[in-house]
Amino acid sequence: MSKKRVKMSFKVKAGATGPSSKGKGASVSKKEGVIDSYSFKSLNIPVNVTITRGKDDYVPIYDLNIAAISKNTLIILEKIREELVKAVNLGMVDIRDTRQRGVIEDRFSETILKLIGKYFPDATEAEKNYMTTYLIQRSLGMGTIEVLNDDLYLEEIVINSAKEPVWVYHKVHGWLKTNVNVASEDQTKHYAVTIGRKVGRQLSILEPLLDAHLAEGDRVNATLFPISTAGNTLTIRRFSRDPWTITHFLESKTINTEAAALIWMGIQYELSAIIAGGTASGKTSTLNVLANFFPPNQRIISIEDTRELQLPKFLHWVPLSTRLPNVEGKGSIEMGDLLVNSLRMRPDRILVGEVRRRREAETLFEAIHTGHSCYATFHANDARETINRFTNPPIDVPKTLMPAISMIIIQFRNRRTGLRRTFQVAEILPDSSANVLMQYDPKRDIMSNRGKSRSLYNTLEMFTGNTPQEINKDIAEKETVLKYLVKQQIKSIDDVGSIMAKYYTDKENVMGYVRSNRPFFKQQSKKE
């Protein structure tokens, strides 16, 4: 190819600068069929999204529009990409090491800028940045899939096969078809293999399944043909870069202050709890939120298959993750192994991502009975079903062990509306039956009192030495603190954690701010 000067040519379609309505039906564009429209940036690339629904569409369409590059420019960029791969020698850099991935990108960026200078000497700084980002995504990443991954409103990105468009699950609009397609089944396989290499996993005909988590916290699942008979699949479950806190839960009516204060009381005095619910009901998010209530002077061990929990940075926290076996079937580390190991690490609190098997359940209850405060997620639809599933095959925990769990918190997701709510807060009685204290009313969209405590308050009295009246006063005080968090819009995980830590170490000072409704962080709020 000639090295003559080429004029860089691209333009960006105009659009909104942010989500237009957060799902309330307003639209930015007047175009017929437009449900919503907003824009964001994928690194240096401006991106516009329009969500439309035509007369014959059963599912709305997610229309992704990035800067339109001219065909001539695109041809030259592909030529640069070919030269790039030959020019960059990565040597012994380990792409699995998150610290060295930046080294790879830096080496690519240096060479890209030289090549851009050669082919596009008149390009502006903004155009150079744009082209650099484009080439890095094409060379090291997943192209347009990575652009989708930068839309903070997407929870799931799904490739079912090369024959159909990519699907996404939108936080506001639910499942949507996109205007993005993968070129071939080999392209999907390449993406999956690339992700596998980054996490030290191999994907092949002999090992056609991949379940892994990325350094950013996202979960990736891949299946290869013929295991998935329609074609190769890739599912990316994105987790929020700004983790949920109790303030978010209260604002979105996921839980009310009365229930949250009661749970906080139990957690403060180290009562163990199970968070149960159906698939995608928000169990792990709830566990993450309730961890906001942990005191700062205790050691916390978390055990997960996929790293999803994120605790305030000043907590004494050790996160552990399981590991699948290698191609020879060796080297697996299961949740049960980590649970046993955690007991040797002098933990004050143990968080278990999800209890699925008998061994995990037995070890969990053993940990509770040896004086550890434990919290775990579990698949069940209500408090009674939670106990039945624990005490019957295949888990089959002896029924006499169940009262070691003081609280059961049930999460619920309405699949028609997408709303997630805390459905029940229950206690386990000495006879191992469930007593529901609060329950969600779907018709009125509120949580109301269901029954009087016959066990939880007795346990709190025993551990605190307080009377029921004093316990109620303490819970009411905690409600006041929670309402203050909402009023002051204290939402970040570290800010909420800071309030909780101060509450435990300097309660009177915190309550002074709460009672007078004064800003706690004052001029520092933006800093920290």
Omega within 30 of 0 (cis) for the link into 347: no
DSSP assignments along 51-89, one per residue: EE--TT-SS-EEEEEE-EE-HHHHHHHHHHHHHHHHH--
The pLDDT of residue 10: 44
**Sheet of strand 349-352, all strands in order from the earlier edge strand to the far edge:** 316-321, 299-304, 349-352, 373-379, 273-277, 407-413, 420-428, 434-441, 446-449
Tokens of 257: 């202050």
Q: Please count the CA atoms within 13 angstroms of the CA of 118 that sit on its side-chain side.
A: 15
The whole-angstrom separation of Cα 442 and Cα 294 is: 30
Task: Give the domain range for residue 214.
Answer: 152-241
The pLDDT of residue 11: 43
* Secondary structure string (H, E, C) spanning 458-490: HHHHHHHCCCHHHHHHHHHHHHHHHHHHHHCCC
The whole-angstrom separation of Cα 153 and Cα 19 is: 9
Host H or E run for residue 273: strand 273-277
Asked if 350 and 367 count as a contact pair (C-beta separation under 8 A), the reply is yes
* Secondary structure string (H, E, C) spanning 399-458: HHHHHHCCEEEEEEECCCCCCEEEEEEEEECCCCCEEEEEEEECCCCEEEECCCCCCHHH
Asked if 479 and 487 count as a contact pair (C-beta separation under 8 A), the reply is no
Host H or E run for residue 391: helix 383-391
DSSP assignments along 326-354, one per residue: -TTS---B-HHHHHHHHTTS--SEEEES-
Q: Report if residue 428 sits inside a domain.
A: yes
Whether 361 and 443 share a structural domain = yes
Q: What are phi and psi of 325, to 5 degrees?
A: -70, 160
Beta bridge partners of 167: 158, 177
The whole-angstrom separation of Cα 415 and Cα 334 is: 32
Please state at what angle helix 125-140 crosses helix 71-87, rounded to 10 degrees: 60
The whole-angstrom separation of Cα 46 and Cα 89 is: 30
Tokens of 478: 């905690």
Q: Report if residue 118 sits inside a domain.
A: yes
Whether 372 and 461 share a structural domain = yes
Whether 338 and 321 share a structural domain = yes
Whether 210 and 158 share a structural domain = yes
Whether 293 and 392 share a structural domain = yes
Boundary residue ending a domain (241, 256, 289): 241
Tokens of 161: 């096969």
The pLDDT of residue 86: 67
The whole-angstrom separation of Cα 148 and Cα 167 is: 10
Q: Any idea what DSSP says for residue 323?
A: B
Q: Report if residue 481 sits inside a domain.
A: no
Residue 31, C-beta contacts closer than 8 angstroms, at least 6 positions apart: 50, 52
- Closest to 335 measured CA to CA, from 293, 307, 311: 307
Whether 233 and 255 share a structural domain = no
Omega within 30 of 0 (cis) for the link into 394: yes
Residue 148, C-beta contacts closer than 8 angstroms, at least 6 positions apart: 64, 154, 157, 166, 168, 178, 180
Q: Give pLDDT tens digits along the chain (528 positions).
A: 444 444 444 443 333 334 443 433 333 334 558 999 999 988 777 889 999 998 888 899 999 987 666 667 777 877 787 777 666 654 434 444 444 455 666 767 778 888 888 888 888 887 788 788 777 776 666 778 888 988 999 989 999 999 999 999 998 898 999 999 998 999 899 888 888 877 777 788 888 988 877 766 688 899 999 999 999 999 998 877 678 899 999 999 999 999 999 999 999 999 999 999 998 899 989 999 999 999 999 999 999 887 778 888 888 999 998 887 776 778 889 888 999 999 999 999 999 988 988 988 988 998 998 889 999 999 999 999 999 999 999 999 999 999 999 999 999 998 777 789 999 999 999 999 999 999 999 999 999 999 999 999 999 999 899 999 999 999 999 999 999 999 999 999 999 999 999 999 999 999 999 999 999 987 444 434
Q: Report if residue 353 sits inside a domain.
A: yes
Whether 273 and 328 share a structural domain = yes
Whether 296 and 394 share a structural domain = yes
CA 392 to chain CA mean position, Å: 31
Whether 220 and 260 share a structural domain = no
- CATH for 156: 3.30.450.370
Strands 174-178 and 373-379: unpaired
The whole-angstrom separation of Cα 243 and Cα 494 is: 10
The whole-angstrom separation of Cα 52 and Cα 29 is: 10
CA dist 260 → 245, 309, 321, 466 (Å): 12, 19, 28, 20
Q: Report if residue 497 sits inside a domain.
A: no
Q: Report if residue 103 sits inside a domain.
A: yes
The whole-angstrom separation of Cα 118 and Cα 86 is: 16
- Closest to 345 measured CA to CA, from 303, 291, 401, 375: 303
Whether 5 and 76 share a structural domain = yes
pTM for the predicted model, two decimal places = 0.74
Boundary residue ending a domain (208, 241, 274): 241
- CATH for 253: 3.40.50.300
- Closest to 255 measured CA to CA, from 41, 367, 410: 410
Boundary residue ending a domain (144, 178, 208): 144
The whole-angstrom separation of Cα 294 and Cα 296 is: 7
Whether 225 and 334 share a structural domain = no
CB atoms < 10 A from the CB of 351, how many?
Answer: 27
Strands 219-223 and 209-213: antiparallel
The whole-angstrom separation of Cα 119 and Cα 73 is: 10
Q: Report if residue 496 sits inside a domain.
A: no
Q: Report if residue 136 sits inside a domain.
A: yes
Whether 284 and 431 share a structural domain = yes
**How many folded domains does the chain comprise?**
3
